[in-house]
Amino acid sequence: MTDILTITLNPAVDLATTAPAVTAGPKLRCGPVRTDPGGGGINVSRAIAQLGGQSRALVAIGGTTGKKLRQLLAAEGIAVLPFRTTGETRQSLAVTDDSTGEQYRFVLPGPVWDDERVTAVLATISAAVPDHGLVVLSGSLPPGVGADFPHALCATLAERHAQVIADTSGAALHQLANATGTPPFVLRMDQAEAEELATRPLPERSDSAGFAAELVARGAAQVVIIARGADGSVLATADQRLHVTAADVPVRSKVGAGDSFVGGFAMALSRGRDLATALQYGAAAASAAVMTDATQLCRRSDFDTLLPQTVLSPLPL
């Protein structure tokens, strides 16, 4: 089984609650609060654990909120490699309006990094990754960390022959898509991000798969995955294009669905499964995640039920 290391440079303590109605002006009396460890890589590790797999989570931690974050991770049995950083670990808040079912998400900024911290974390990651390991970089980058960080990470790990799965956004995603440095093994994005990069609509599965193939040909990654929401996901490599359906399930919260996808996908690869099977694992994990409240992510029992419902289909080249 291949080692999985997830990386979360801008983690958060996630708070989730409800209110009878979310309106401006009056004090909003909220319901009970659920507190979870959050951040892309952390959620990937949590999803892997809930699916019965194992990973290690390298997490940048600072201040009293950082201590709380470590306690939450320990309570979930996540193996943590803490990376000390200056400033206070951020918090996020999700409030569900009981009258409409709509969810409002507020995410605070993280601490500002300097070049010294960036160099130090790359060295720490390099020391932690075994040869041919799987590395998942997921979530936003802290203020002060350049958009070229994913490429710097891939270059740092090249001699280890590690396979990097990148699921990021914003300027970092744009730089990865433009193939300006050492590429990751897998690059994942959602439909809106893909359309922004393509500067055109991608209404059909074949459109998304075609753009994913363009990115592969451009050298952005060996594998590109585009999540199409309720329509599932597409995957492209140099010689194949695949679509997997999302299971038809009631949606309670979309928080963590993408991270659950990456968790299921990475877990399958770590067990030696092929890309097609990994795509199904990811789809089943994402479908399971939307069935749970707030930040609970995916349940193993739901994943096992939904996996046969994720239908894999080839798309024309």
- Catalytic residue numbers? 259
CB hemisphere CA count around 229 (13 angstroms): 11
CB atoms within 10 A of CB 130: 11
Residue 276 one-letter amino acid: A
Rounded Cα distance, 299 and 221, in Å: 30
The CA-atom distances, in angstroms, between 243 and each of 81, 188, 275, 281, 312 are: 35, 14, 11, 13, 6
Name 270's Cβ contacts closer than 8 Å, sequence gap at least 6.
Answer: 1, 2, 3, 4, 53, 134
**Length in residues, the chain:** 317
Question: What are the residue ranges of helices labelled H in 31-106?
Answer: 40-50, 63-75
Calpha distance 35→13 (Å, rounded): 7
Residue type, 139: G
Distance CA 200, CA 50 (A): 37
